[in-house]
């Protein structure tokens, strides 16, 4: 069923302090695989087809707001007085021009539960619309239910009598293993009518959203449960331990999706893939690989081991081994590593090579060109068929400005060469080893920059004899 056709909206609760995180930033800003917790929930709501997504902010809202602005309506909870108070903060946003709450379904989600899926959100909406229930509660079975609100059912059907919080539960209620997952689909007018009658007469002095269920039931409206088959979806993040658990769960979910689509992983437990990464089939990921941001990898490429790619585009048939790349582009059949660093703006054209202990920054390495080992190439435009000898660098920084080096096609640069920018080396030129090139080199020329070599016959033997004699004299 299409949630959009139901005029369903989502309300995301993201106002809490999250004190157990012991952090200087709000809980919902902590990340799972490079993406803030609250963004996982916002994106799931959008993917479910919600007509509007509303975010309730409070604690450190200045740091949370940038994460949700633009595609959600932001409302503020000025005091953190419980979940009922948080939802009530959205009353004005849900009120139409006629002063009444707009009809339709409102799905309430927790901003610290990144594993919720669009499919489950749609299922909540569908059940509420099909039954015209006042509320549909997402529930889950927990082997260890401690800390969760317990679902007290009415008989054997889907009807829910009430939800009892851990601190308010009797011993009998505390033994119940069906728990509140913290996600609800409400009939919006019924929700806000009930909220106006919620009391804070409880152990915490807070307004519980769960009290709405009993009020609606007393009004003669149905309150139903929808049991999820995967309790992991409702995993909340309230500590660093739970953050790691959620990250591991998301890692497994993402990896299984890619493997099902034709990606090979030697050891999925050591492969970490962000939510926005795209992989073609027949990509092979070796152990200890991290693919983050907007990274994409083309067919028949092998990545790893020990590789981290962020916002990097890798073409087809590439080999990327022990490489760190950020904002780089690696074209078809290019190779990188082992132990290479491709910084922002690095571009390996088709068949190019960045080898061992090579760093490349804001430079184009032309088709078939090679920077095999122990080199730094920065702010450089390099043509095709170039060979850079070991230990060569482009000296691009003069202490104030970054300057450019231009290297033409088919240039051969000898080992241990410094090219002091700005400088241009013409097509087909050869640079002798150990040169310091400070002036432009003409096409097809040989450029050398060396001091005259001097030799003193027999000096080494005499020098060593002198050192040994001094040592023996000191020992006496």
| Residue 145 clears pLDDT 50, i.e. is over it | yes
Is 182 known to sit in a ligand binding site?
no
Domains, the chain: 8-234 (3.90.550.10), 258-447 (2.160.10.10)
Q: Give residue-wise pLDDT tens across range 40-50.
A: 999 999 999 99
Question: How much is the pLDDT for 5?
Answer: 46
End-to-end C-alpha distance for the chain, whole angstroms: 98
- Residues 6 or more apart in contact with residue 116 via CB below 8 angstroms: 40, 41, 44, 109, 183, 233, 234
Tell me the β-bridge partners of 168.
none
347 is catalytic: no
Is 220 known to sit in a ligand binding site?
no
Distance of CA 344 to the CA centre of its chain: 18
Collapsing DSSP to helix, strand or coil, 350 comes out as coil
Tell me the β-bridge partners of 361.
378
What's 451's DSSP letter? P
- Residues 412 and 445: their CA atoms lie apart, in Å, by 11
- % the chain with pLDDT above 70: 99
Angle (CA) 75 2 15, round 5°: 20
Is 34 known to sit in a ligand binding site?
no
Residue that the structure tokens 């001097």 belong to: 454
Lowest mean pLDDT among 177-181, 289-293, 368-372, 426-430: 177-181
The alpha helices in 140-239, defined as continuous H runs, are 171-174, 188-195, 211-218
- Residues 6 or more apart in contact with residue 41 via CB below 8 angstroms: 12, 109, 110, 111, 113, 114, 116
Is 82 known to sit in a ligand binding site?
yes
For 28, list phi and psi in degrees, rounded to 5: -70, -5
Is 450 known to sit in a ligand binding site?
yes
- In which region does residue 428 sit, left (phi positive, over 0), alpha (psi from -120 to 50) or beta (all else)? left
β-pairing, 418-420 with 436-437? parallel
Collapsing DSSP to helix, strand or coil, 39 comes out as helix
What's 261's DSSP letter? T
Question: How much is the pLDDT for 224?
Answer: 96
Active-site entry in 258, 347, 373, 439:
373
Tell me the β-bridge partners of 285.
265, 303
Looking at every residue in the chain, the average pLDDT score rounds to: 94
List the structure tokens of 189: 């007018």
Is 428 known to sit in a ligand binding site?
no
- Residues 188 and 109: their CA atoms lie apart, in Å, by 14
What's 453's DSSP letter? P
Residue 162 pLDDT level (bands cut at 50, 70, 90):
confident
Question: How much is the pLDDT for 139?
Answer: 95
- % the chain with pLDDT above 90: 85
List the structure tokens of 226: 């929808």
Residue 67 pLDDT level (bands cut at 50, 70, 90):
very high
- Residues 108 and 11: their CA atoms lie apart, in Å, by 5
pTM listed for this prediction: 0.89
Question: How much is the pLDDT for 308?
Answer: 98
- Residues 341 and 360: their CA atoms lie apart, in Å, by 6
Is 169 known to sit in a ligand binding site?
no
| Residue 4 clears pLDDT 60, i.e. is over it | no
Is 16 known to sit in a ligand binding site?
yes
Q: Give residue-wise pLDDT tens across range 319-373.
A: 999 999 999 999 999 999 999 999 999 999 999 999 999 999 999 999 999 999 9
Cα distances (Å, whole numbers) of residue 97 to 100, 282, 455: 7, 55, 95
Question: How much is the pLDDT for 85?
Answer: 94
Q: Give residue-wise pLDDT tens across range 245-291.
A: 999 999 999 999 999 999 999 999 999 999 999 999 999 999 999 99
Is 343 known to sit in a ligand binding site?
yes
Is 238 known to sit in a ligand binding site?
yes
Is 341 known to sit in a ligand binding site?
no
Question: How much is the pLDDT for 1?
Answer: 44
| Residue 34 clears pLDDT 60, i.e. is over it | yes
| Residue 2 clears pLDDT 70, i.e. is over it | no
β-pairing, 323-326 with 393-395? unpaired
Specify the DSSP element, H or E, that contains 256: helix 240-260
| Residue 186 clears pLDDT 70, i.e. is over it | yes
Closest residue by Cα to residue 287 from 305, 263, 262, 272: 305
Is 208 known to sit in a ligand binding site?
no
């Amino acid at each position: 069923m299409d949630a959009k056709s139901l005029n369903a909206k989502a309300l995301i609760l993201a106002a809490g302090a999250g004190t157990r995180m012991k952090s200087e930033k709000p809980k919902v800003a902590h990340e799972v695989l490079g993406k803030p917790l609250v963004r996982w929930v916002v994106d799931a709501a959008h993917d479910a087809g919600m007509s509007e997504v509303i975010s309730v902010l409070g604690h450190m809202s200045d740091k949370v707001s940038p994460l949700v602005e633009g595609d959600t309506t932001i409302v503020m909870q000025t005091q953190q007085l419980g979940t009922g108070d948080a939802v009530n903060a959205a009353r004005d946003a849900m009120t139409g021009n006629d002063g009444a709450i707009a009809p339709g379904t409102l799905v309430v989600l927790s901003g610290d539960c990144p594993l919720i899926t669009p499919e489950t959100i749609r299922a909540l909406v569908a059940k509420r619309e099909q039954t015209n229930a006042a509320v549909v509660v997402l529930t889950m079975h927990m082997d260890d239910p401690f800390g969760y609100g317990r679902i007290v059912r009415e008989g054997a059907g889907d009807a829910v009598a009430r939800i009892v919080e851990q601190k308010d539960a009797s011993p009998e209620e505390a033994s119940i293993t069906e728990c509140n997952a913290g996600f609800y689909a409400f009939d919006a007018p019924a929700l806000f009518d009930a909220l106006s009658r919620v009391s804070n007469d409880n152990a915490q002095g807070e307004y519980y959203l769960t009290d709405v269920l009993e009020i609606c039931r007393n009004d003669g409206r149905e309150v139903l449960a929808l049991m999820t088959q995967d309790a992991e979806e409702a995993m909340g993040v309230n500590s660093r331990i739970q953050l790691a658990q959620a990250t591991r769960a998301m890692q497994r979910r993402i990896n299984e999706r890619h493997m099902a689509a034709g990606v090979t992983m030697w050891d999925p437990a050591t492969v970490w893939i962000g939510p926005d990464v795209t992989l073609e089939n027949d990509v092979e990921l070796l152990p200890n690989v991290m693919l983050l941001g907007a990274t994409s990898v083309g067919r028949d490429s092998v990545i790893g081991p020990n590789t981290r790619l962020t916002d990097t585009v890798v073409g087809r048939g590439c080999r990327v081994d022990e490489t760190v790349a950020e904002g780089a582009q690696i074209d078809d059949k290019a190779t990188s590593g082992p132990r290479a660093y491709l910084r922002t703006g690095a571009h390996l054209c088709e068949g190019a090579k960045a080898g061992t202990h090579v760093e490349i920054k804001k430079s184009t390495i032309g088709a078939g060109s090679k920077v095999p080992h122990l080199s730094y190439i920065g702010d450089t435009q390099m043509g095709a068929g170039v060979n850079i000898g070991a230990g060569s660098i482009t000296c691009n920084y003069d202490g104030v400005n970054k300057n450019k080096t231009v290297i033409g096609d088919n240039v051969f640069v000898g080992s241990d060469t410094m090219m002091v920018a700005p400088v241009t080396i013409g097509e087909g030129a050869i640079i002798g080893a150990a040169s310091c090139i400070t002036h432009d080199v003409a096409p097809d020329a040989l450029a050398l920059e060396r001091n005259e070599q001097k030799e003193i016959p027999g000096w080494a033997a005499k020098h060593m004899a002198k050192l040994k004699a001094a040592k023996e004299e000191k020992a006496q």
